[in-house]
Structure 1
Amino acid sequence: MNQTRTLEEMPLGKFHFQMFFYTGGGAFIDGYVIGIIAVALSILQPDFDMSLTVMGLVGMATLIGMFFGGIIGGYLTDIIGRKKMFILDLVVFVIASVLQYFANDATELIILRFILGVAVGADYPIAGTFMAEFSPKKNRGALLGGLVALWYVGYGVSYLVGYLMLALGDDSWRWMLASSAVPALIILLARLKMPESPLWLASKGREKEANAIIQRIFGENVVLSEKLDSTEKTSFMDMFKNGYGKWTVFIALFWTLQISPSFAIATYIPEVLGQFGFADGNKEYLGSAIMSLFYIAGLLPAIYLVEKVGRRPVLVWPFLISAIILTVLGITSNLHMSFAFTITLFVLYGMFNTGMSIHQWIYPNELFPTKIRGTAMGFCTGVSRIGSSISTFLFPMILSKYGLDVTLYICAALFFIGFLVSAVMAPETRNMSLAETSALNKASNNSGSSKNKEMIL
């Protein structure tokens, strides 16, 4: 007689990798959209004769859209289901991507970029909850962190695509922006095969359906969980009640402090490299592509270490190291250092920065129960995008008025604040079930639970 096992006790298998592809497609698309606009901006600026303010609005429109998409999409994900929202958001994305080709002025482009942001923002809470709710507990951190890797793959690919499309001439920016429809359509068709989340079904009192899905995928001796989540009705404000408020504040803070400088630098990296003195022969675009591809290398040790040494150290120390590297870049920005030296520093910054970014998907999906997991993930996504949209809007203005060195010092300061916040607030959730991680707020005062009190730096 085979022993009954729970969904979280199953070994990593083919189905988990399929789910990783289905959910990670949204992260790939997000990275692609953010990256391709950085290349396209410098090409389309003469076409639309955009001021720095308008350029800032184009750059931040997607991020503002993600605020609304994350908050609304996350809540609807907990209300109507993961799969329905997963399909709808990509339909919207494909349509808006194609329409970018036909934009006649900056206003139309800003509107379309905003719509794209709504769709991408909605995808974050759906993808994260899906992956978390199907993952084995021993591999959950690596799988969730791996979704971030696909963000950087999309970001790096966008720069290569944009670099190659420069040869298309004055209208190359139209093809660049419309090209995001291609990966979106592929992922949309793949997602039609996905099942609904068993944990979400169980949270709505549909335990029989939940176990039927699990047993169809994994076999008759696999069940949902030893302890099912509450079937209480989802409320938007629940993420601020019953001790969950501190996690909402922590996640929103560290996420915002991590991506605000990151997105601003990423959006305008060709201009930044140009101010370092590398504006001849499209070197700034080639450098951007090289940096983006190397950034992915920082994720590999982070994905490994997050399961071996824990969540906390993989978040805390990269914040500090990123701050130090950007400070050095600020100091050397006017010293006419070599292309290799500057790119090496940016690569090191990017590797540590991308390494810690895996927590954007891990902590929100581990620290909240099923009934508000999507809502909390969406809210924190939205708040982080407000911060990143403001920084993306202000970045070219600060760069123009105060210079590259001051701009980099400000970015370094944000990373240092993130280091302090994480050192004080980050919990340890390694090798815990979702029931255990989502109960950390209740167990934090229990002196008998040494696991929940682990504070490794």
Structure 2
Amino acid sequence: MTQRTLENSKPSKTHWLITMYAGGGEFCDGYILSIIGVALPLITGAFQLSGAMAGVIGSASLVGMFFGGLVFGYVTDRIGRQKVYLADIAAFIILSLLQFFATDPWQLTVLRFLMGIAIGADFAIAATIASEFAPQRSRGPLLVVLVTMWSVGAATAYVAGWAMLSLGDDAWKWMLASSAIPAALILMLRIGTPESPRWLLSKGRTEEAREVLTKMLGPGADFSDLEADTDSRTRYGDIFRGRYRKRTLFVCVFWACQLLPIYAITTYQPTILHSLGLAEGNASYLGAVIIQIFFVLGSLSGALVVNKGRRKLLLWSFAIAAVPLFLLAALVSPSAWLVILLFAVFGVASFSSQCLQAIYPSELFPTGVRATANGFATGVSRVGAAIGTYGAPLLLAQSTRLAMLVGGLIAVAGLVTSYFLAPETNGMTLAESSSAEDLAAIR
């Protein structure tokens, strides 16, 4: 009987279900982090917030993600993927509902911070578990689907928020609590997801790993191609030592440069569109929905090119994304349709490489510290995103054109960093890409 391995198998129903369930967490992440963009102007009016306090509430989840990623990535490597996989979604449900009962800005800030911790944990686990089940040839496209769910969640948040604007003074409460609905659905779907056979094998639980693979691939399954990837210990400090030090730096910097302008624009998109004269009143939210659709299309477009080169995709993404931001900074009184077009180009370019946020940490680090690296990169990148989200209203108060200029410069910084540090891992197994001696060796 011909033996089949996880790396050389064809994507099956099980692969797709695991990816979609992991992506369900990304959907919730995108929804939770984007619904605040619709609710924040209403919260600002309800509590008479200053621009600084609005920035605190808007960035609280991102600060929480810093701590959630740093702590729970490591916890996931220690105790297993499955436990954290369920616990973080349960936290989404509880915290979403509690936001409905917030009576002052600081209560809301604390709840958003705690929500961020749960999101940081989910970011660390979702990409890790999906990549560890994915076959080598299908890993890129499967993780594109995973990350696209974030964009779908964000777009859904804007549609749902726009639909709830008519609920009156308490509309923002319903908006924030509404994230409990998709979270509850995903929790039910995730129950029963098997533990990662790579993680089981790395902990010496060979028979359990064999049982999971047999259920997935049939009686001819073996894990000979997993053994090299699982020969690593779980020590937090390893991601800062030897060949992994430069990889950690690269992943954190490129991820932060991607997210800083994206989160700032997504969180304050209605405000930005209104300031650019796109629409008045609630119509600016509809404009945000239209642009979010392009973000989804951009994310899906990554599937067309991710297997043609990870490095090329990242470089071109940063280069193209910078152009519309610089044009928005330079143009005086652009037409509404030009504004939409430029944001659409930015969205397609930026989101086309979002899949690399899941792919690179998973391919550059071994099983023993894969979730740790994912979590650390999640946390550090959110520091940049939090700075952007907190600083965006301050920049917008000065000038929308200045805010766009800063966003363009950050994209250029990501391009320069990626040019010198981005490796090419396409076509490699997880064992091959994570064990290469240095980044130059896998260009």
- Supply the distance in 1 between the matched residues of 2:39 and 2:220 (Cα, whole angstroms): 53
Report the secondary structure of 1:9's partner residue. coil
C-alpha RMSD of the superposition: 1.2
In structure 2, the residue matched to 1:448 is: none
In structure 2, the residue matched to 1:278 is: 278
The question of 1:420 aligning with 2:416 is answered yes
In structure 2, the residue matched to 1:411 is: 407
- Supply the distance in 2 between the matched residues of 1:16 and 1:65 (Cα, whole angstroms): 30
- Supply the distance in 1 between the matched residues of 2:97 and 2:300 (Cα, whole angstroms): 34
Q: State the 1:436 CA deviation.
A: 0.4
Q: State the 1:278 CA deviation.
A: 2.9
Q: State the 1:444 CA deviation.
A: 5.3
The question of 1:373 aligning with 2:367 is answered no
Range 80-89 or range 208-217, more displaced:
208-217
- Supply the distance in 2 between the matched residues of 1:286 and 1:344 (Cα, whole angstroms): 15
In structure 2, the residue matched to 1:364 is: 361
Deviation readout 1:279-332 (Å, 9 max, x if unpaired)? 41422101000000121111233212111x210111001101111110001112
Question: Is contact 1:7-1:225 (8 Å) kept?
Answer: no
- Supply the distance in 1 between the matched residues of 2:240 and 2:318 (Cα, whole angstroms): 26
**Amino acid of the structure 2 residue aligned with 1:257:** C
- Supply the distance in 2 between the matched residues of 1:396 and 1:443 (Cα, whole angstroms): 41
Deviation readout 1:381-428 (Å, 9 max, x if unpaired)? 000001110111111112213x11111111100000101111111111
Could you tell me the percent identity over the aligned residues?
42
Q: State the 1:336 CA deviation.
A: 2.3
Question: Is contact 1:36-1:162 (8 Å) kept?
Answer: yes
In structure 2, the residue matched to 1:207 is: 206
In structure 2, the residue matched to 1:323 is: 322
Question: Is contact 1:256-1:383 (8 Å) kept?
Answer: yes
**Amino acid of the structure 1 residue aligned with 2:214:** Q
Match of residue 352, structure 1, among 349, 360, 369: 349
The question of 1:95 aligning with 2:94 is answered yes
Report the secondary structure of 1:361's partner residue. helix
Question: Is contact 1:205-1:231 (8 Å) kept?
Answer: no
Match of residue 394, structure 1, among 391, 396, 421: 391
**Amino acid of the structure 2 residue aligned with 1:404:** T
Q: State the 1:167 CA deviation.
A: 1.0
- Supply the distance in 2 between the matched residues of 1:311 and 1:202 (Cα, whole angstroms): 28
The equivalences for 1:215-294 within 5 A come to: 215-228=214-227, 229-294=229-294
Deviation readout 1:345-389 (Å, 9 max, x if unpaired)? 111111101011111111001100000000000000000001110
Pair 1:48–1:16, CA change in 2 (3 A): same
What is the TM-score when the length of structure 2 is the normalising length?
0.98
Q: State the 1:232 CA deviation.
A: 4.8
The question of 1:302 aligning with 2:302 is answered yes
In structure 2, the residue matched to 1:35 is: 34
- Supply the distance in 2 between the matched residues of 1:157 and 1:331 (Cα, whole angstroms): 31
- Supply the distance in 2 between the matched residues of 1:248 and 1:190 (Cα, whole angstroms): 32
Report the secondary structure of 1:50's partner residue. coil
Report the secondary structure of 1:4's partner residue. coil
**Amino acid of the structure 1 residue aligned with 2:425:** T
- Supply the distance in 2 between the matched residues of 1:318 and 1:199 (Cα, whole angstroms): 32
Q: Unaligned stretches of 5+ in structure 1? A: 446-451
- Supply the distance in 2 between the matched residues of 1:86 and 1:148 (Cα, whole angstroms): 16
Q: Unaligned stretches of 5+ in structure 2? A: none
- Supply the distance in 2 between the matched residues of 1:67 and 1:7 (Cα, whole angstroms): 32
Aligned length: 442
- Supply the distance in 1 between the matched residues of 2:103 and 2:300 (Cα, whole angstroms): 42
Range 37-46 or range 156-165, more displaced:
37-46
Match of residue 436, structure 1, among 400, 425, 432: 432
Question: Is contact 2:22-2:127 (8 Å) kept?
Answer: yes
The equivalences for 1:153-168 within 5 A come to: 153-168=152-167
**Amino acid of the structure 2 residue aligned with 1:260:** L
- Supply the distance in 1 between the matched residues of 2:203 and 2:27 (Cα, whole angstroms): 30
- Supply the distance in 1 between the matched residues of 2:156 and 2:104 (Cα, whole angstroms): 26
In structure 1, the residue matched to 2:14 is: 15
- Supply the distance in 1 between the matched residues of 2:269 and 2:8 (Cα, whole angstroms): 43
Range 147-156 or range 222-231, more displaced:
222-231
The equivalences for 1:117-132 within 5 A come to: 117-132=116-131
Pair 1:108–1:224, CA change in 2 (3 A): same
In structure 2, the residue matched to 1:183 is: 182
Question: Is contact 2:81-2:196 (8 Å) kept?
Answer: yes
In structure 2, the residue matched to 1:449 is: none
Pair 1:100–1:270, CA change in 2 (3 A): same
Question: Is contact 2:261-2:410 (8 Å) kept?
Answer: yes
Question: Is contact 2:31-2:156 (8 Å) kept?
Answer: yes
Deviation readout 1:39-65 (Å, 9 max, x if unpaired)? 001112121111111100000000001
In structure 2, the residue matched to 1:78 is: 77
- Supply the distance in 1 between the matched residues of 2:355 and 2:418 (Cα, whole angstroms): 14
In structure 1, the residue matched to 2:58 is: 59
Question: Is contact 1:91-1:188 (8 Å) kept?
Answer: yes
**Amino acid of the structure 2 residue aligned with 1:416:** V
Pair 1:36–1:6, CA change in 2 (3 A): same
Pair 1:170–1:224, CA change in 2 (3 A): same
Question: Is contact 2:93-2:184 (8 Å) kept?
Answer: yes
Question: Is contact 2:247-2:439 (8 Å) kept?
Answer: no
**Amino acid of the structure 2 residue aligned with 1:167:** S
- Supply the distance in 2 between the matched residues of 1:361 and 1:232 (Cα, whole angstroms): 20
